[in-house]
Structure formats: structure tokens, C-alpha cells
């Protein structure tokens, strides 16, 4: 019989974190979400793996139900919070599974604390030098920035573009909505 997913919170020095936990297996799998999501993105995966593994899906600081961060935010802040969280839960060695920003954090953690990581699974990790990635994020910064000129321009041309069958402005506006729901993700990337 499947176990229910347990939701938990813990106050760390940098703020309160929230996570989902299930399973009783000896091997601990820690799931780290991408910049535009939260730990719930892993619910289907951890439900399927729970008969064999101890699964934990963390909402990184500033995301989901974890505390919002004020001031400067960096991948290093997330790495330090992850270390403190693992210490508080008395989890020694773990497998880290990270998507996007979570992959970047998992990699940074593994480099800084190799004695704590049994393995890494990285899905489209950010923070890796890939040709064209800097250009992509330059546009994202323009689209999500505090000065909304580009967003105003997109909204202005959207009706004309729709009548002409050009769907790119509408798709881009939808992507901007997703990005802007995650201000910490925008600041980190």
C-alpha cells in the first residue's frame, strides 16, 4: 500500500523551508526543482519511487511554500541552505536529482561537499556554459525586468500579430508570465 506524502517545514538560518517526503527505503533521493517551479513538480516521480527509496522534494528558499528571500540571492545561498537542511534531517549521503536551477544547485553542492553525495542526476541543468545560453537569458532579463517597455511593446503588437496568424508574441507573453511568477528564479538566472 502506498504511503501518503508528508509535508514538512523547518526554520533554517536563512528562512523557513518546505518539503514533501515519502518512502522508507534506505537510500535518500533529494529532488531540487527548476527556476520556474517548486518541489511539487516531482510529486508523480516520488510517488512512483516511494516503495523503494526515501524521497524528499524540497521547495528551495524563495520558491513554493518556502520563505521568500529578501536582499541578495545566489546559488551559494541555496547550497548553504541545502547543507543546513540535510544536517537538520541527519541525512548523511544522498543522491541529488536536479532540474534546471536545481541541477545547478545540486552540482555546486556536490563540488563543495563530495563526501555527502552518492550521485547526481541532472536534467537540463542551468549554470553550465552552453553556446547561446547567455543570449537567451539576456532576452529574458529584458522581458522580466522592472522597466516594462518590451512587455508593453509585445502587448501592443499582440492583436495585430494574432490577426496575421503570428503566434510568437502571444507565446512570448505567456512565457513572461511564467518567468515573472518566480522573481527569485529571475534574479538567480
Question: In the prediction, which pLDDT does 7 show?
Answer: 94
pLDDT averaged over every residue in the chain: 84
| Distance from C-alpha of 56 to C-alpha of 106, rounded to nearest angstrom | 14
Contact 95, 28 (CB under 8 A): yes
Question: In the prediction, which pLDDT does 71 show?
Answer: 72
Question: In the prediction, which pLDDT does 166 show?
Answer: 78
* Percentage above 70 pLDDT, the chain: 79
Please choose, from the candidates 88, 96, 74, 102, the residue with its C-alpha nearest in 3D space to the C-alpha of residue 187: 74
Given a cut of 80, is residue 180 above it in pLDDT? Answer: no
Question: In the prediction, which pLDDT does 124 show?
Answer: 86
Helix (H) or strand (E) holding 107: helix 101-112
pLDDT grade, residue 85 (50/70/90)? very high
Question: In the prediction, which pLDDT does 28 show?
Answer: 96
**Per-residue burial over 95-117, b = 16 or more CB atoms within 10 Å of its CB, e = otherwise:** bbbbbbbbbbbbbbbbeeeeebb
DSSP conformational letter for 43: H
Please state, in angstroms and as integers, the Cα–Cα distance from residue 189 to each residue in 140, 152, 186, following that order: 9, 23, 5
Q: Summarize pLDDT for 115-169 with one digit per residue, the tens.
A: 999 999 999 888 766 666 666 666 666 666 666 666 667 777 777 777 788 777 7
Give residues with Cβ within 8 angstroms of 105, minimum separation 6.
32, 60, 75, 78, 79, 82, 98
Q: HSE of 93 in the Cβ direction (CA atoms, 13 Å)? A: 8
Question: In the prediction, which pLDDT does 130 show?
Answer: 60
Q: Mean of the pLDDT values across residues 4-21? A: 93
Given a cut of 60, is residue 1 above it in pLDDT? Answer: no
Give residues with Cβ within 8 angstroms of 12, minimum separation 6.
61, 81, 84, 85, 88
Give residues with Cβ within 8 angstroms of 149, minimum separation 6.
none
Question: In the prediction, which pLDDT does 102 show?
Answer: 96
Question: In the prediction, which pLDDT does 155 show?
Answer: 72
- 15-22 and 6-12 as β-strands: parallel, antiparallel, unpaired? antiparallel
Beta-carbon neighbour count of residue 71 at 10 Å?
Answer: 5
Amino acid at each position: 500500500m502506498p504511503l501518503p506524502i508528508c509535508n514538512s517545514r523547518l526554520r533554517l538560518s536563512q528562512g523557513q523551508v518546505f518539503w514533501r517526503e515519502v518512502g522508507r527505503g534506505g537510500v535518500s533521493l533529494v529532488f531540487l526543482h527548476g527556476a520556474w517551479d517548486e518541489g511539487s513538480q516531482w510529486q508523480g516521480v516520488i510517488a512512483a519511487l516511494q516503495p523503494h527509496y526515501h524521497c524528499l522534494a524540497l521547495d528551495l528558499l524563495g520558491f513554493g511554500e518556502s520563505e521568500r528571500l529578501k536582499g541578495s540571492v545566489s546559488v551559494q545561498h541555496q547550497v548553504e541552505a541545502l547543507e543546513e537542511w540535510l544536517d537538520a534531517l541527519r541525512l548523511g549521503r544522498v543522491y541529488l536529482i536536479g532540474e534546471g536551477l536545481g541541477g545547478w544547485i545540486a552540482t555546486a553542492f556536490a563540488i563543495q561537499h563530495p563526501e555527502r553525495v552518492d550521485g547526481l542526476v541532472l536534467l537540463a541543468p542551468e549554470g553550465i556554459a552552453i553556446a547561446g545560453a547567455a543570449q537567451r537569458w539576456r532576452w529574458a532579463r529584458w522581458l522580466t525586468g522592472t522597466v516594462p517597455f518590451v512587455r508593453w511593446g509585445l502587448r501592443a503588437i499582440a492583436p495585430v500579430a494574432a490577426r496575421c496568424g503570428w503566434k510568437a508574441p502571444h507565446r512570448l507573453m505567456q512565457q513572461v508570465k511564467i518567468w515573472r511568477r518566480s522573481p527569485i528564479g529571475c534574479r538567480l538566472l
